[in-house]
Amino acid sequence: MNKPEADFTDERIYRIAVDTTLRVGILLAMLYWCFHIMSPFVYPIIWGAFIAVASYGSYQKLSSVIGNRPTLAAILVTLIFLTVMIVPIALLTDSMASGVEALADEAKQGTLKIPPPPDAVAGWPLVGESLHAIWLKASVNIEAVLKQFAPQLKSLGSWLLSAAAGAGFGLIQFALSILVAGLLLANAGPSRRYTSAFATRLAGDKGVEFVEIAGKTVNGVTRGILGVAIIQGILAGLGFLVAGIPGAGLWAFVAMVLAIIQIGILPVTLPAIIYVFATAEPLTGILFLIWNIVISTADNILKPLLMGKGAAVPIPIIFIGALGGFMASGILGLFTGAIILSIGYTLYLAWIEETPALDSVSSEQGETDEASAAR
């Protein structure tokens, strides 16, 4: 009598196992298929979510000003972002691509002209004499210098060409990110509820707290670090354009990258200032110098204002995140990498800070159980 029951039980277990395997397999296949379809839009969606979080406060204020009309407020925020950010970036991107092509053509044809260096360059500490000698040689015989540094210039040229080619695609992704941010802002209420519910399923009661920590981090890094870097890059690029510096968009992009990784824009603006003083009128050089001093020191004022109460993140975390994101995913990864690594860092600290408390609760519970057992 027991054998048929055992057979029946084994058969039922077998069916359950097959049914579970099929369900899990179908679910995994669907998840993979969905991810494959969405993969071209992953970074614009992530960056759009960051923009939405960072601009949520301004969106709420605008919505209240126009009579609590959230959809109209989201449309206006999207249009403002597209106008303020995309138009200057598009101009600088076009200038960057044109500048790279022009430099490459002039280098190939041997028509590239380098102005002689100012005498003051030779007095710079450490690198002054070597830089002055190379610069002077380039102003007299550019072909000899190009041959001397051919391997380094080849690598640099390849990187610049790839960066210029990727700039257009990055601009499209950035515009798409702004549209995604507008959609998320228009549906801010449901987005917040779904995010909190998802975090609660992952981390229990601490899920909502972790969401708030991540939101503060996104606010601080997006507005205080990336926002300031973008502003500095755009203003520097506009100054380069007005001053007539060749490849203004290219140098503006390099300045923005250096600002994001917290090196600062001085390595780009200082040679540009020297170039303008060497080639333009003194008044133009003085005005250009003042403009770049204002831009270089602007982060000391803008960062505290824009970061607000956002979570403080060490500079090395932002540096590694920005460079790693750029190497892994191109221009858009430069922004998302810094934010994602910063979020991971702050959530890790929050988790670590919770561990001692949880351990103490566990030890107290253990002592209570031992006392109860002794009684």
Structure tokens of 195?
């995010």
What is the CA angle 359-362-363, rounded to 5? 85
pLDDT at 268 over 60: yes
Q: How far is 116 from 137, CA to CA, in rounded Å?
A: 9
Q: With respect to residue 184, please indicate whether it lies within any of the assigned structural domains.
A: yes
pLDDT at 130 over 60: yes
User: Long-range CB contacts (< 8 A, 24+ apart) of 264-267?
Assistant: 264/296, 264/299, 265/232, 265/233, 265/236, 265/292, 265/295, 265/296, 266/296
Most confident segment among 34-43, 59-68, 255-264, 353-362: 59-68
Whole-number pLDDT of residue 291: 92
pLDDT at 33 over 50: yes
Q: With respect to residue 373, please indicate whether it lies within any of the assigned structural domains.
A: no
Structure tokens of 228?
């300031």
Q: How far is 360 from 127, CA to CA, in rounded Å?
A: 57
Q: What would the mean pLDDT of 326-354 be, rounded to a whole number?
A: 75
Label residue 67 left, alpha or beta by phi (over 0 means left) and psi (-120 to 50 means alpha): left
Q: Give which of 66, 103, 45 is closest to 247, Cα–Cα.
A: 103
- Burial class of residue 104 (count of CB atoms within 10 Å of its CB; 0-12, 13-18, 19+): middle
- Burial class of residue 30 (count of CB atoms within 10 Å of its CB; 0-12, 13-18, 19+): exposed
Q: With respect to residue 23, please indicate whether it lies within any of the assigned structural domains.
A: no
Lowest mean pLDDT among 45-59, 70-84, 160-174, 266-280: 160-174
Whole-number pLDDT of residue 357: 41
Domain count, the chain: 1
Q: How far is 366 from 374, CA to CA, in rounded Å?
A: 12
Q: With respect to residue 2, please indicate whether it lies within any of the assigned structural domains.
A: no
pTM above 0.85, yes or no: no
Q: What would the mean pLDDT of 32-51 be, rounded to a whole number?
A: 82
3-state helix, strand, coil in the chain (%, to 5): 90, 0, 10
pLDDT at 109 over 70: no
pLDDT in tens, 204-237: 777 777 777 777 777 777 777 777 888 888 888 8
292, 235 Cβ separation under 8 angstroms: no
Mean pLDDT of the chain: 75
Q: How far is 222 from 270, CA to CA, in rounded Å?
A: 27
Q: With respect to residue 232, please indicate whether it lies within any of the assigned structural domains.
A: yes
Neighbours of 220 (CB within 10 A): 23
Q: How far is 62 from 78, CA to CA, in rounded Å?
A: 12
pLDDT at 105 over 70: no
pLDDT in tens, 294-331: 888 887 777 776 665 555 677 777 778 877 877 776 66
Q: With respect to residue 28, please indicate whether it lies within any of the assigned structural domains.
A: no
Question: Amino acid letter at 278?
Answer: A
Q: With respect to residue 227, please indicate whether it lies within any of the assigned structural domains.
A: yes
Any idea which residue has 């640099």 for tokens? 156
Boundaries of domain holding 334: 41-351
pLDDT at 6 over 80: no
pLDDT at 45 over 60: yes
- Residue 281, C-beta contacts closer than 8 angstroms, at least 6 positions apart: none
Percent of the chain topping pLDDT 90: 1
Q: With respect to residue 6, please indicate whether it lies within any of the assigned structural domains.
A: no
Q: Give which of 117, 106, 202 is closest to 157, Cα–Cα.
A: 106
Question: Amino acid letter at 372?
Answer: S
